[in-house]
Amino acid sequence: MNEQNDVYIPRSEHPRIVIIGAGFAGIYMAKALKNKPFQVVLLDKNNFHQFQPLFYQVATSGLEPDAIVFPVRKIFRGFRNFVFRMADVLQINTHENSIETDIGNITYDYLVLATGSTNNFYGMSDVEMNSIGLKSIRESLDIRSNILQNIEKAVQAIDDETRKKNTTIVIVGAGPAGVEMAGAIAEFKKYIYEKDYPELSNFPIEIHVVEAGPKVLSAMTEKSSRATLVDLKKLGIIVHLDTAVKSYDGHKVALSNGTDLLTASLIWTAGVRGQFPEGIDEGFIVKGNRIEVDEFNRIKGQESIFAIGDVAYMQTEAYPNGHPMVAPTAIQQGEHLAKNLMHTKANWRPFKYFDKGSLATIGKKRAVADLGKLHFRGFFAWFIWSTVHLMSISGFKNKLRVGLNWMNSYFSYDKGNRLIIRRYKPKKVEHETYL
C-alpha cells in the first residue's frame, strides 16, 4: 500500500477493528467495545445514526428529522478508543487486510461489515426510477414533500383526473413499514386533510396497500394479521392481497390482478437487499444479496472479516432462511460479536437470536403486539409499541422531543410538521457503494 494515500488515524498499540456502517449493528457493537483493548474505527458516509423504525412518522409530517437522527460523534463522547471517519467505502482488499475509501486507505486487524440493506425493486427499473423507498431519512423527507406537493397540484388542477391522480397514494408492501405508513396517512386524511384543503372536499385521499403475499404483516401471528387487516379497512384503506406491481411510469401503476391505478405517489416498502462494498467472494453471496456467515458472524472463507445485521445471512436450525432483517437482530449480533472478540477464539460462543416479539402500529390507539405466546391488540398494544420505541431512541433530549410530540398529537390529532422544506424531484437511479 502507498502510505501517502492512507487515512490519518492515530497510532494505537491495540488491534484495530474497522466497522463499516453506523446503523444499529455498527453503533451497538462500537458501544459494547467502549474503552476495551481495541482501536475501534467506525466508517459511514453520513455523520449521523438514523432511527429507522420512525422514518414513516417523518414521512407523514409527525416528526421532524432531527428528532430521530443523532450525530455519531456525540454518541461516542468519552470513548477513548474510538475513531470516526465520514467516508464511502469502495473496495475491500482481503489479501492486504485493507479497505479503499473515497478519502484514502485504511488497514485493519478485524473488519466488520454492518452495512445494512437497501430497497429491493426486483429488477423493475421503471418502479425504481419513479417510486420512493423508505430506507433513509432523506427518502422520508422526499415522501413528505412528494405527498404535500401533489396535494397542492390537485388544488390547482382544473380536471378531475389530475386531482384524482395527485390525491391517490399507493404503498407497496404490507409489512410493518407499509402498514404503519398507511395508518399514518389515513389519520392525516381524517383529521387534517379536509381542514387544510377545503377545495378538495370531493376528492378525499385514496390510500392503496399492495401486497404480493396472502396476508398483511406476514411475519406476525395469524391473529395479528387478521386484526390489522380489519383496522386498515376501518380506516378506509384499500388492501390488495396476492397482488404484485408489474410496472409504474410515474403516473400509472399496473398490478398483476389487471388493475391500473393512477397515482403520482408510489411508496415502496416491499423488499430489501443487503449492500456492501466490492471485494467479497461472490461464492458467499446468497439470496437477497446477503453474505453467508458462520455461527460467529464470520464471513465464510475469511478469518478476520465479519458481517452483522441485515447484510449477514446465518443459516441455523431455528432460522433456515437466515435471521429476520430487523433492528433487534442487528443489535444482538453487534453486541455478541464484540463480546466474542474480547476472548480467544477457543472461547467464542455461537450467536443465538432472542426474539423479544413483534410490534406494529396502525395509527393512534391501534396496534398489534406478539410477545411470545401473548397477543395484544388496540390501545394496550399501542402503548407497548410507543414505550419500546421511545426507550430505544438515543439521547434524553430526543426522547423528550418525541414524547412531547406524541403527547401533543394524541390529544390534538395535529401534525405540525407538514412543511415542504425542499421540493421533491424524481430521482436518477444511482447505485451507491454500500449505504
Q: Which is nearest to 150 in space by CA: 170, 168, 131?
A: 168
Q: Give CA–CA dist 218/327, Å, rounded.
A: 17
Looking up cell 397482488 gives: 243
What pLDDT sits at residue 119? 95
Q: Give CA–CA dist 171/183, Å, rounded.
A: 11
Q: What is the pLDDT of residues 273-295, one digit of tens each?
A: 999 999 999 999 999 999 999 99
How confident is the model over 180-196, as a mean pLDDT? 94
What is 3-45+87-119+273-347's CATH number?
A: 3.50.50.60
Q: Give CA–CA dist 58/68, Å, rounded.
A: 9
Does the domain at 125-270 match CATH 3.50.50.60? Answer given as no
Query: CB atoms < 10 A from the CB of 434, how many?
Result: 22
Q: Give CA–CA dist 122/138, Å, rounded.
A: 22
Cα angle 405, 408, 414; round to 5: 95
Query: What does the buried/exposed string (b/e) look like for 83-107 if buried means 16 or more CB atoms within 10 Å of the residue's CB?
Result: bbbbbbbeebebeebbbbbeebbbb
**Which range, of 30-39, 355-364, 391-400, averages the lowest pLDDT?**
391-400
What pLDDT sits at residue 428? 58
Domain boundaries, the chain: 3-45+87-119+273-347, 125-270
- For residues 35, 12, 279, 94, the Cα torsion angle rounded to the nearest 10 degrees is -120
Length of the chain: 435
152: CB partners within 8 A, 6+ apart: 420
By the 8 A CB rule, do 306 and 113 touch?
Answer: yes
Q: Which is nearest to 267 in space by CA: 136, 427, 90, 134?
A: 134
By the 8 A CB rule, do 325 and 120 touch?
Answer: no
Residue 184 has pLDDT above 70, yes or no: yes
Q: What is the pLDDT of residues 323-381, one digit of tens each?
A: 999 999 999 999 999 999 999 999 999 999 999 899 999 987 899 999 988 999 999 99
**Which range, of 28-37, 221-230, 388-397, averages the lowest pLDDT?**
388-397
Q: How far is CA 302 from CA 78, 117, 298, in A?
A: 33, 22, 7
Angle between helices 176-188 and 222-234 (to 10 degrees): 20
- For residue 372, count CB atoms less than 10 angstroms from its CB and return exposed for 0-12, middle for 13-18, buried for 19 or more: exposed
Q: Please state the φ and ψ torsions of residue 409, each to the nearest 5 degrees.
A: -70, -25
Residue 400's SS3 state is helix
Q: Give CA–CA dist 43/45, Å, rounded.
A: 7
